[in-house]
Amino acid sequence: MSKILIIEDEQRMADLLRRGLEEMGYVAFVAYDAEMGIRLFRSGEYDLVISDIVLPKKNGFELVKEVKELSKNIPVIMLTALGTTDDKLEGFDAGADDYMVKPFDIRELEARIRVLLKRKAATETPQEKELSYANLKVDLLTKTVYRGGQEIKLTPKEFNLLVYMVRNPERVLPRAEIAEKVWDTHFDTGTNFIDVYINYLRNKIDRNFDTKLIHTKPGMGFILRSEDEDKA
Ligand code: CA
């Protein structure tokens, strides 16, 4: 259940919003002025903030700035009865993500809430930390490679090439694809730099191990595969 903080000084409006959102399955909290809003925001974990612009003590623009300083990714929807373009621009300047002009239909507000929560969830997908294939492990944060628990030192280019292969295992990777995806360049058939790097990688990844992972498909490209087809 998403937690929404409503900052609105008009009690009737605030209650209407809170009840409406609760009926739609959200958990809603109300602050009646900006200071109380900031206090509540600091003390809880909210998924979204809805703030009026004209508030006692501090206006909604200042409040949004503070909220965004505390939590960069929190979506904020601003409410106003004014609806002038200036208001809107100032709101977006302060960091508001969306804007509703009073009076509005709560279903319209809910549609915007859903969009913003979805966007927030998408940006919060946890960072990919590790890749693995067979007994090969790639730590993407420290850029360290292990095979069977043994650290293997790679140059940045070798590392990028290996990461691409581990992300695309058991599939033939043509030289042109590797050139484009790893080197960001077009493959010129007159050069053999990819073969050179594949050999560097082989020496480091496969030489000391019985099971070879990097295989050449003559005339086609390379494949990362744990089945030892060189022996087969
Ligand atoms: Ca107000």
Q: Is the pLDDT of residue 230 over 60?
A: no
Enumerate the CATH 3.40.50.2300 domain ranges in the chain, comma separated: 3-123
Banded pLDDT at 228 (limits 50, 70, 90): low
Q: How far is the CA of 14 from the centre of ligand 1 (A)?
A: 10
* Long-range contacts (CB closer than 8 Å, 24 or more residues apart) made by 72-76: 73/120, 73/123, 73/124, 74/46, 74/47, 74/48, 74/49, 74/120, 75/47, 75/48, 75/49, 75/116, 75/117, 75/119, 75/120, 76/48, 76/49, 76/50, 76/51
Residue 189 has a pLDDT of 65
Q: How far is the CA of 33 from the centre of ligand 1 (A)?
A: 9
Radius of gyration of the chain (CA): 27
CA–chain centroid gap for 179, Å, is 27
Note whether 45 and 3 are within 8 A (CB): yes
pLDDT in tens, 101-127: 888 899 999 999 999 999 988 887 667
Residue 232 has a pLDDT of 45
- Third-level CATH fold of 3-123: Rossmann fold (3.40.50)
Enumerate the CATH 1.10.10.10 domain ranges in the chain, comma separated: 130-224
Q: How far is the CA of 78 from the centre of ligand 1 (A)?
A: 11
Q: How far is the CA of 64 from the centre of ligand 1 (A)?
A: 14
Q: How far is the CA of 8 from the centre of ligand 1 (A)?
A: 6
Residue 82 has a pLDDT of 62
Banded pLDDT at 128 (limits 50, 70, 90): confident
Residue 190 has a pLDDT of 65
Q: What is the dotted CATH code of the domain comprising 130-224?
A: 1.10.10.10
Banded pLDDT at 85 (limits 50, 70, 90): low
Q: How far is the CA of 126 from the centre of ligand 1 (A)?
A: 37
Q: How far is the CA of 44 from the centre of ligand 1 (A)?
A: 23
